[in-house]
Amino acid sequence: MPICLFTRTSRCVLLNAERFYTPLLRAHPNRKRHSRQARRSIMKQPVCVLGAGRMGSSLATALVNNGHPTWVWNRTPEKCAPLVAMGAKSGTNLQDVVRAAEIIFVIVLDFAASNALLKRDGVAPLLKGKTVVQLTSGSPRLAREDASWIGAQGAEYLDGAIMATPDFIGRPEAAILYSGSRTAYETCEPVLRILGGQTTYVGNVPGQASALDTALLAQMWGSLFGALQGMAVAQAEGIEVETLRAQLLAFKPVVDAALLDAIDRSASCRFAGDDGTLASLGAHYSAFRHLLEVCDERGLEPAFVRAMDRVFREALAQNGASADFASLAPWFQRDGTIAEVAEQADG
């Protein structure tokens, strides 16, 4: 019979955890003197992980390896087998698993999949008094809606954003961001720290972890698109890939500094060129034109470069060549001018 049958009250959860650890406690050499202390430190909140895809399996593995009573569930049950072999528990159905846990980690493809799991009659009433940690990637709006629905079920909610790939989970450098209930975060923090050493609470507004995730990924995609564009140029011009890799790394500190400078200047609206300007808009555009030229001469796909060219030209028209690169920032904060310029460029 699944242990979760005993978990409707906190007293029963305690019994549940004791069952898990009784053999360990019995084996303790100074059992009498230390047993109460040992019980307190060893007993851990039972958790479940809903979703045993790449990321879910990695999260569950870290929890099991840290001795957490961990239940797992996946739509395709076979994916739970390796986790069960490692020491995770798997219920006969989703309800068993949710009932067993105090902390429910949800890590499925998207919020539609998450809704299909949680918002069903047999599951929703089981959430009361528990904490749902939603690690599925979603937009800030989806996270806010989720927080509101979970709250209405009488459960605490944490919106989480995993800034790492599965191989980083459980490592000190793995960053995971959380927003939502501070109480829930503080209660769950010891468990959350198992998943990533760089665990950060970004505030009590649900959706802000997802918003920060989106902001950081925007930067990543810019870099990834840029890397492939650079690769196309390098290949077209006969540069060895090893040379490109080495010089990308050598250039990285300069790029990182420019990136932070652009953010700081945008935040304080310092758009005009000044003594602190690293390179004027005119200097940037002069170099950028070489990229346009190579694409043209070598027949490389110009779509990405042309989109950047459009932004450069608007900023130059509005702010002049001596402006700082940060003067491009307003372009990204939609207004009427952008649409007009985009239309002109397309025409």
Dist CA 207 CA 255 (whole Å): 30
Among the listed ranges 90-98, 101-109, 183-191, 280-288, the one in contact with ligand NAP (CB under 6 A) is 101-109
Residue nearest to ligand NAP (CB): 53
According to the binding rule CB under 6 A, does residue 198 interact with ligand NAP?
no
Dist CA 48 CA 103 (whole Å): 6
Binding residues among 128-147 for ligand NAP as defined by CB under 6 A = 136-137
Q: Which is nearer to ligand NAP, 108 or 291 (CB)?
A: 108
- Burial class (CB within 10 angstroms; exposed 0-12, middle 13-18, buried 19+) of 300: middle
CA 152 remoteness from chain centre: 25
Among the listed ranges 51-59, 169-177, 201-209, 312-320, the one in contact with ligand NAP (CB under 6 A) is 51-59
According to the binding rule CB under 6 A, does residue 277 interact with ligand NAP?
no
Residues 337 and 314 sit within 8 Å (Cβ to Cβ)? yes
* The one-letter amino acid at 10: S
φ, ψ for residue 179 (rounded to 5)? -140, 160
CA 316 remoteness from chain centre: 35
According to the binding rule CB under 6 A, does residue 317 interact with ligand NAP?
no
According to the binding rule CB under 6 A, does residue 53 interact with ligand NAP?
yes
According to the binding rule CB under 6 A, does residue 74 interact with ligand NAP?
yes
According to the binding rule CB under 6 A, does residue 52 interact with ligand NAP?
yes
Among the listed ranges 26-34, 47-55, 96-104, 183-191, the one in contact with ligand NAP (CB under 6 A) is 47-55
SS3 301: coil
Stretch 150-179: interaction string toward ligand NAP, x if CB under 6 A: ------------x--xx-------------
The strand pairing partners of 180, in sequence order, are: 158
Among the listed ranges 2-10, 69-77, 264-272, 294-302, the one in contact with ligand NAP (CB under 6 A) is 69-77
Which of 5, 15, 24, 116 forms a contact with ligand NAP (CB under 6 A)? Answer: 116
According to the binding rule CB under 6 A, does residue 231 interact with ligand NAP?
no
Dist CA 14 CA 163 (whole Å): 33
Identify the helix (H) or strand (E) that includes residue 133. strand 131-134
Residues 317 and 311 sit within 8 Å (Cβ to Cβ)? no
Where along the sequence are the contacts to ligand NAP (CB under 6 A)? 51-56, 74-76, 79, 107-110, 113, 116-117, 136-137, 162, 165-166
